[in-house]
Amino acid sequence: MALGELGRSHDYRDRADAGHGLAAFAELQEARGPLLELVLNPGDTYVTRRTAEALLQRKDRVGLTIVASALAVADSNHSDWIHTAIVDVFGVFSDDRDEALRLCEEMAQDTDDRVALGAHQLYEVLAGIDPVLRSV
* Domain chopping of the chain, boundaries: 2-127
Nearest Cα neighbor of 65 from 111, 5, 8 is 111
- Average pLDDT over the chain reads 96
pLDDT of residue 2: 84
Question: What predicted TM-score, i.e. pTM, was given to this entire model?
Answer: 0.96
Distance CA 51, CA 45 (A): 10
pLDDT of residue 1: 66
pLDDT in tens, 92-104: 999 999 999 999 9
Can you list the pairs that 72-75 forms with residues at least 24 positions away whose Cβ atoms lie under 8 Å? 72/114, 72/115, 72/117, 72/118, 72/121, 73/40, 73/114, 73/118, 74/39, 74/40
Distance CA 81, CA 13 (A): 16
User: Inter-axis angle of helices 61-73 and 94-107, to 10 degrees?
Assistant: 70
pLDDT in tens, 81-134: 999 999 999 999 999 999 999 999 999 999 999 999 999 999 999 999 999 999
Q: Which residues contact 116 (CB under 8 A, 6 or more apart)?
A: 107, 108, 109, 110
Distance CA 3, CA 12 (A): 13
